[in-house]
Amino acid sequence: MHSGKKTTHRSACPVSLSLEVLGDRWSLLIVRDMMVRAFRSFKQFQESGERIATNILADRLRKLESAGIIVAEGDPGDGRRSVYRLTERGIDLAPLLLELLIWGARHAAEGDPQGPCAAIGAMVQHRAAVLSEVRRRWAEHDDRPLQAADGRWLWP
């Protein structure tokens, strides 16, 4: 160090990864469930995926909202509030999620040497198509999940 600079915050722009919001175990999982499985309610997040505690879930939803990634709207017609939706900033996480998914599928082939998911090839090939499909559904408020009930991808 050639100066006594304190560097109270983190480094400047160029290599910042903005993990203060996403660098935890649950946030990206929530975003994924909203994007891919069209989850909208507190209970859906709570039951699906991997048993997140309710207080942590509430905290993450709050943090994601204050980060501008999701919005919480009151459900019209049902006073008991809860409809969470992705903002444009949240939808912009789609490429990141897709890459994370591809990486995990490629390298977590434990006990399945010939292909962990069998859909990974399609995902890699159709990156752009998948992302534009996600965007289209989001723009049209299409609330159908991208994933079928049996757990297989509907993507091309």
Partner DNA sequence: CCGGATCCGTTTCGATACTG
Partner DNA sequence: CAGTATCGAAACGGATCCGG
Binding site for its own copies (CB under 8 A): 7, 10-20, 22-26, 28-29, 32, 36-37, 48-51, 68, 89, 92-93, 95-97, 99-108, 116-117, 119, 147, 151-153
Could you say whether residue 43 binds DNA (CB under 7 A)? yes
Q: Scan residues 54-93 and list those touching DNA (CB under 7 A).
A: 54-56, 58-59, 61-62, 72, 79-82
Going residue by residue from 5 to 24, which x/- string records binding to DNA, judged by CB under 7 A?
-------------------x
Please tell me the distance from the alpha carbon of residue 104 to that of residue 127, in angstroms, as a whole number: 15
What single letter denotes the amino acid at residue 11?
S
* Cα–Cα nearest to 56, from 47, 66, 46: 46
Burial class (CB in 10 A: 0-12, 13-18, 19+), 110: exposed
Pull the structure tokens for residue 19: 């993990």
Do 67 and 28 meet the contact criterion of CB atoms below 8 Å apart? no
Residues of this chain that bind DNA (CB under 7 A): 24-26, 41-43, 46, 51-56, 58-59, 61-62, 72, 79-82
